[in-house]
Each structure stands twice: as C-alpha cells, then as structure tokens.
Amino acid sequence: MTDDEDPLRFKEATRLVLVGRHPARDFGFVNPPVYHGSTVLSRNVAELLGHTGRYAYGRRGTPTSEALEEGVSLLEGGAGTVLCPSGLSACSVALLSCLSAGDHVLVPDSVYRPVRTFCDGVLKRAGVTTTYYDPMLGAGITEHVRSETRALYLEAPGSQSFEVQDVPALVAVARERGLVTLMDNTWATPLLFAPHAFGIDLSIMAGTKYLGGHSDLMLGTVSALPGAWPALKRTHGDMGLCVGPDDIALGLRGLRTLGLRLRQHEASALAVARWLAGRPEVGTVLHPAFEDCPGHAHWKRDFKGSSGLFSVVLRPVPDERVAAFLDSLALFGLGFSWGGFESLAIPFDCRAYRTATRWSPRGPAVRFHIGLEAVEDLIADLEQGIAKLTG
Ligand SMILES: *Cc1c(COP(=O)(O)O)cnc(C)c1O
C-alpha cells in the first residue's frame, strides 16, 4: 500500500478505511500518530519569523487534527474542514463566519434548541437579527428575505419533530438572492445526505453523535465549499477553537466503522419504528422514512437512507403514564445526545419554544435513539413498558 492512493477513486466503504491515513509517512503504523503538543520548535530564526515551518503552534493544527480534517473533507466533498470542541460550537462558528453587525439570518423553527439560544443571545448582542421560519417552506422562503438578509440556515430533519426540509428549493432561493447557506446535517451524516452536492456552502456535523458513535467524546465539524472556506478558516482560527488530540483520535476511529454502524442503526430503527406504528398506544411515527412524517417526499427524493433517531406521538395519556413507561425500560437509557451504540428515550415538548409554527401534537411525544442491541430485545423491552401507558 502506498500513501498516494486517492480515496476518491474507491467506493464509500473503502474511502472510510483510507481517508486521513498515511502509513508510509508514519513509520508503517496503520493509524495517524496522536500528537500532544502546544509549542512547535523552529529550526532557525528565519523559519520562526518567516512562518515557513510545516506547523506553527498546537492550536493551529497538528498531524492528528489534519488527519481528521482531511478525512471529513473527503467524505463531505468540501474545500476544507475545521474541527470544533462540540457540535454546538461547530454551529456557532459557522454562523459567525458569515454574519456581521446589521445582517439578518433565517433559521428554521425546528432548529436544535441551543442554536436558537445562540441566535437570540450572542448573535443578537452582536447586532445580527434572526427570523425563524416554517421548516416546511420551500420557494416560499423568498418572502422572508430582506435586503440585509445574509444567510439561510437549514437542519433536516428538524430536531425532535423531524420535518425534512426541501433543500433544493431553499438553495435555489438562496442562490438567487445571494445568501450563504448552512446546514446542520448531524442526523444523516455525509453518508446519507451530502449537503455540498446540493449546493450548501457550510455543512455542519455534531461529531459527538454518529462520528464518535460511542458516547465518549464531544466534537463538531464544519466543512465548506471553496467560496465559504476562507472566512470559516479565519473565524475558527480567530476564536481559538481546537480539539484535544485524544478526542480527535476517537473521531478517526469512529470514522472507520461509521458506514457499518449507520446501516445497523437504520435497519434496527426501522424495525422498532414499524413495531411502534402497529401499536394502538401510538398515534404518529415521526420517522423520515414513514409517510406520516412531514417532508417524507423530500427525504425519499434526496436522502440515501435513514439513521437511528426518530420520534413518536402517543395517543393522549397523562404525563405520569409516559414517565412510568420510560422508567420501566431496561435497555433504553434516559439521557440527552444520541448516536452511540446504546438505545435512548426522552419525552419532549416543542410547544415551549416554537415561535414561527405551532407544534400541536395530539398526545405526548417521545424521541428514541435505536442503538446496536438486538432488535428483538429492544421490542420485548418496549412491549413490557408500553403496557404501563394504559395500565
Ligand atoms: C447534538 C446536536 C448538536 C450539538 O452537538 P454537541 O456536540 O452536543 O454540542 C447540534 N445539532 C444537532 C442536530 C444535534 O443533535
């Protein structure tokens, strides 16, 4: 094996194995070395002052960070990638890279809630105004575009409520009106949806979720098309964002099995969602592959598959019944985040914070993440628990 195999020559499964690795350069070791470092020594004053060395300072990049950046850039098809200490910091640096005082940004009402908090807090104080829009808007988004609108943010499917946006229609308007487009693609990862191929300028992923895949690290990535790359790189550098080398190594390890894990999460989640859909206690299954899910047709047209996260709206029961159901589960942990090997469940209610659309489910809602356990065990667990909803 040589170091100059171009991963893009190969199919996706092979690419996941090859990207970001240079064994010949690394004394034959299969994985890139984990460099712990701040200071980088120059050979002489000319190199120090001329900034001509390969590396300058730990914060500005190491062979370890470059390996993951290179891997993510190849998978995303972007001009460059920055690594961030969390998914949320990836969202916030992407927004800051394209917005200035006086600008206006459009954000879907179904956005990951901490991004809303960032827009209403930090961005507002910086003189940027935000309008939340109905995530199901397509070409109609044009009515919200003002002369000072600078960026259009997307997230599909929506956090918790799973609306799948019409990405091509939104990008078409953004192109026509000269807006920078950003998309939080955490649910699909570039394996199931490729934002850059749809013309999205900044593709964001909470690497904490499926890239890491083992619930043991915090990580975010932003990949950019060439036009958006210089501002992203500069803003990321100015903010001093970087990720510890051990967490980067965990991200690289996760990358190798990402395709394999996603296929299992998909198959198991579909099986569990189908079982739930057949239960009398369940009203609606909000899973992009199900017809009841808003934007199902967009998912079918644009996505290559689905991952392990979905929600259900239960038939009306008191909240205590939902708590009794979830408390009785042996295999589903009660906890935030997702994307690891373990199954999770949380009750949620979007009514508290939506501003542009009304979230009016007919009953209480629960979000599930389906892990890598045996589907039969998960369904048996749900079956004993779901009885607590009515009994
Ligand atoms: C979890 C999540 C984030 C934030 O990631 P952290 O690593 O937890 O900061 C951002 N966007 C989406 C859609 C998420 O699910």
pLDDT tens across the length of the chain (391 residues) = 566 678 999 999 999 999 999 999 999 999 999 999 999 999 999 999 999 999 999 999 999 999 999 999 999 999 999 999 999 999 999 999 999 999 999 999 999 999 999 999 999 999 999 999 999 999 999 999 999 999 999 999 999 999 999 999 999 999 999 999 999 999 999 999 999 999 999 999 999 999 999 999 999 999 999 999 999 999 999 999 999 999 999 999 999 999 999 999 999 999 999 999 999 999 999 999 999 999 999 999 999 999 999 999 999 999 999 999 999 999 999 999 999 999 999 999 999 899 999 988 999 999 999 999 999 999 999 999 999 998 7
- Of 21, 103, 109, 112, catalytic: 112
Establish whether 112 is a catalytic residue.
yes
- Whether ligand 1 lies within 6 angstroms of the CB of 285 is answered as no
DSSP state of 158: P
Ligand 1 atom nearest 337 alpha carbon = 1
Ligand 1 pocket mutation pick from 155, 164, 186 by most atoms within 8 angstroms of CB: 186
- Whether ligand 1 lies within 6 angstroms of the CB of 311 is answered as no
Ligand 1 atom nearest 155 alpha carbon = 13
What is the four-CA torsion angle of 266, 13, 199, 195, rounded to 10 degrees? 30
Contact indicator for 347, 322 with CB cutoff of 8 Å: yes
Whether this model's pTM surpasses 0.95: yes
User: If you take atom 4 of ligand 1, which residue's CA is the nearest one?
Assistant: 87
Pairing of strands 149-155, 129-133: unpaired
- Whether ligand 1 lies within 6 angstroms of the CB of 88 is answered as yes
Contact indicator for 63, 31 with CB cutoff of 8 Å: no
Residue carrying structure tokens 């960070």: 65
Contact indicator for 189, 203 with CB cutoff of 8 Å: no
- Whether ligand 1 lies within 6 angstroms of the CB of 186 is answered as yes
Establish whether 201 is a catalytic residue.
no
Ligand 1 atom nearest 219 alpha carbon = 7
Ligand 1 atom nearest 186 alpha carbon = 13
- Whether ligand 1 lies within 6 angstroms of the CB of 96 is answered as no
What per-residue confidence (pLDDT) applies to 328? 97
SS3 state of residue 238: helix
What per-residue confidence (pLDDT) applies to 391? 77
What per-residue confidence (pLDDT) applies to 17? 95
Establish whether 59 is a catalytic residue.
yes
Contact indicator for 161, 114 with CB cutoff of 8 Å: no
Q: Bin 361: left if φ > 0, else alpha if -120 < ψ < 50, else beta.
A: beta
What is the four-CA torsion angle of 96, 100, 105, 109, rounded to 10 degrees? 40
- Of 209, 261, 367, 388, catalytic: 209
- Whether ligand 1 lies within 6 angstroms of the CB of 86 is answered as yes
- Distance from residue 206's CA to the centre of ligand 1 (Å): 5
What per-residue confidence (pLDDT) applies to 352? 86
